[in-house]
Amino acid sequence: MQGCDVGTRLRHWLTLVSGMLECLCFAGVVFGYASLVFVLKDDGYFSDLCVSDPSDNNSSLPGTADCLSQDEQFSLVFTIASFLNNFLSLVNGYLFDQFGTWLTRLLGISLYTSGTLLVAFSSAALSVMLFPALSCIAVGGILLLMTNMQVGNLFSAHRSTIITLYNGAFDSSSGVFLIIKVLYEQGVSLRSSFLVLSLCSIIHTVRTFLLMPRTHIPYPLPECYTYGMDCGKANTYNVEQVERDAAKTNSQESSGQENTTQAPERGESGKETGFRSCVFSWFFLCHLLWLSIMQLRHYLFIGTLNPMLTRLADNDPSLVSQYTNAFAMTQLCGVLCAPWNGLILDRHKGKPRAAGESEQEADLRSSCLSLFLTSLQCLLFSLCASIPVLPLQYITFILQVLNRSFLYGGNAAFISIAFPACHFGKLYGLVMSLSAVVSLLQYPCFSLVKGPLRGDPFYVDVFLTVLTLLVFIHPIYVYIYCKKQAFNRENNSHTAGNPD
C-alpha cells in the first residue's frame, strides 16, 4: 500500500477537483435558462409570434406583455429540455451500469457538443433549433454528472459529502448562462460564447481517458486501486472482483434475515429480484413522490421566471435584467450550499454505531434530518414564490438555490445509501425518468396561467404549495422505519440476553 499511496492519492484528488470543475462549468448550464432567455429575446428569437398593437408603438418589442406566444415557446423549450434531462436518465442509467464510464461519457460529450453547436449556428430565423439544442445540452450534462458522482467512492469517509458537492456544482453551473448574458451586453456574440463551450469538449474527452475508469469505481475501494488509460487492466480486474465479492457479502448478509419490501437490501439476493424489490419498495415510492413534487415546483419557477419578473416589474426591461442577474448570481452559490447537506448525511461517520446496527442503517438514520430539512426548504420557497411582491423574490432566489442544492444532492446520496450499489445507475435513472413525467405538468400549468388566469399565477402557486406538504411523507417514513429497526434490535438483544 505504501508504494502506491502517493500516486494513487494524487490521481484521486485530480479526479475529484477536475470533476468538480467539469460539473461547475458545464453539466447543468441549461438551468440558467432564465439568463439565456433574456439574450434570446434581445436577438429576436420567436419574435415573429409577438402581436402588434397599433395603439402602442412598443407593444411588438420582445419582452412586452403582448408577446405571450413568444413566452410560451421559450417555456416549451425548457419544458422539453428538462423533461428529457430526467426521462432519458433511465436509459442513461442502464447504459452506465452495463457499459461503464468511458462509453457513457463519450455519448454525453457528443450530445453536449452537438447542442452547443446548434445554439451557436442558430438565429432568429431558425429559432426552432433551440428545441434540439437545449435538449442535447441537458441530456449531455446529466450524463457528465452521473459519471462523476461515483468519484465519491474514492473517499469513503466523505462519500455523501462529495456526491452532494458535485450536485451543488451542477446547480451552480447555471451561472454560466449569466456570464454569457454579461458578455453579450459587453458586445460578445452568442455564437462566440457557444463556440467556446463546444471547444471545451476536448478537455472533457481527455479527462475521460486519463482521470476516469473504463468501467466503474468500486465501493468499498480495494487497496492501490488505479484507473485511467494507462492502468485499464488493473481497473477491470479490481472492479469485477469487488463486484463479485460484494454480491457474495450481500447474499450472506441477506440469508437468515426476514424478507420485507421495506428494506430493498433485505430481499432476495438474485440480480433481477433484487432490482424489482428496490423498485417496488416503499423507500423508492416515497422517494419518487418526494423528488417529483419538489422538482415540478422548481421547474415551473425557472421556466416562468422571465414572464413573472416582467409582470411584477411592470414591463421594465432594466428591472427585469437586474432581477435576472440576481437570480443567476444566487445559482452560483449552489456549490457552497450542497456540502452542508453532505455534512449532515456524513455526520455519523467515524462515530461508534449502536449495538447490532449496520452501516446502512446508520446511514439511513442520518438521512432523516437531511430529508426533512429539504422538504421544509421547499415549503418555504414555494410560499415566498407565491407572494407577488418583487423585492421578496430576492429571498425566493436564496431559498430556491438552497433547496435545489439539497434536493439533487440528497436524491443521489439517498439512492446510494438505501439501495445496492450495483443498481445505482438504473435506480437513479428510473427515479429521474419517472419524476420527469410529473414535471411535464409545468407546461399545462404555464398555459393555465397565461390563458384562463390571465397571467396571474396565484392560484397555481397556492395549489403547488399545498401539494408540497406531501413531501414530508418521505422523511417521516424513513424515521419510523429507523425507529422500528432500533426497537427490533433492542428486543432481540434483550431476548438473547435473557433466554428462557
Cα 11 from Cα 217, distance rounded (Å):
13
Angle among Cα 424, 214, 7 to the nearest 5 degrees reads 105
Distances, alpha carbon 344 to alpha carbons 22, 160, 219, in Å: 25, 9, 21
What local confidence, expressed as pLDDT, does residue 144 receive? 93
What local confidence, expressed as pLDDT, does residue 273 receive? 41
Residue 452: cis peptide before it, omega within 30 degrees of 0: no
Q: What is the mean pLDDT of the chain?
A: 81
The model's confidence at residue 266, banded by pLDDT at 50, 70 and 90, is very low
Flag whether pLDDT at 349 surpasses 80. Answer: no
DSSP 316: -
Cα 244 from Cα 229, distance rounded (Å):
23
- Global pTM reads 0.71
Flag whether pLDDT at 309 surpasses 70. Answer: yes
What local confidence, expressed as pLDDT, does residue 373 receive? 95
What local confidence, expressed as pLDDT, does residue 274 receive? 77
The owner of cell 437490501 is 265
What local confidence, expressed as pLDDT, does residue 175 receive? 83
- Mean pLDDT of the region 423-429: 83
Answer whether 171's CB lies under 8 Å from 397's CB: no
What local confidence, expressed as pLDDT, does residue 248 receive? 52
Write the CB contacts of 130 (distance below 8 Å, at least 6 apart in sequence). 40, 45, 77, 118, 119, 122
The model's confidence at residue 261, banded by pLDDT at 50, 70 and 90, is very low
Listing DSSP states for 350-409 in one string gives TSPPPTT--HHHHHHHHHHHHHHHHHHHHHHHHHHHHS--TTTHHHHHHHHHHHHHHHHH
Cα 32 from Cα 9, distance rounded (Å):
34
Answer whether 379's CB lies under 8 Å from 357's CB: no
Flag whether pLDDT at 44 surpasses 70. Answer: yes
Least confident of 192-196, 288-292, 451-455: 451-455
Residue 187 Cα to chain centre, angstroms: 33
DSSP 281: S
Instruction: Report pLDDT digits (tens) over 312-335.
Output: 888 888 898 899 888 878 877 877
Instruction: Report pLDDT digits (tens) over 64-106.
Output: 445 778 888 888 898 889 888 878 888 888 888 888 899 999 9
Looking at per-residue pLDDT, the higher value among 113 and 154 belongs to 113
Angle among Cα 364, 495, 268 to the nearest 5 degrees reads 45
Looking at per-residue pLDDT, the higher value among 264 and 461 belongs to 461
What local confidence, expressed as pLDDT, does residue 396 receive? 94
What local confidence, expressed as pLDDT, does residue 201 receive? 93
H or E stretch covering 251: helix 232-254
Looking at per-residue pLDDT, the higher value among 274 and 150 belongs to 150
Least confident of 204-218, 293-307, 335-349: 335-349
Least confident of 350-364, 379-393, 450-464: 350-364
What local confidence, expressed as pLDDT, does residue 88 receive? 85
Q: Which amino acid is at 330?
A: T
With pLDDT > 70 as the criterion, what percentage of the chain qualifies? 85
Answer whether 430's CB lies under 8 Å from 264's CB: no
Distances, alpha carbon 367 to alpha carbons 183, 373, 423, 433, in Å: 41, 10, 19, 23
What local confidence, expressed as pLDDT, does residue 103 receive? 93
What local confidence, expressed as pLDDT, does residue 465 receive? 93
- Mean pLDDT of the region 375-392: 93
Answer whether 119's CB lies under 8 Å from 234's CB: no
What local confidence, expressed as pLDDT, does residue 496 receive? 61
Flag whether pLDDT at 269 surpasses 90. Answer: no
Burial 135-146 (b: 16+ CB within 10 A, else e): bbbbbbbbbbbb
The model's confidence at residue 479, banded by pLDDT at 50, 70 and 90, is very high
The model's confidence at residue 200, banded by pLDDT at 50, 70 and 90, is very high
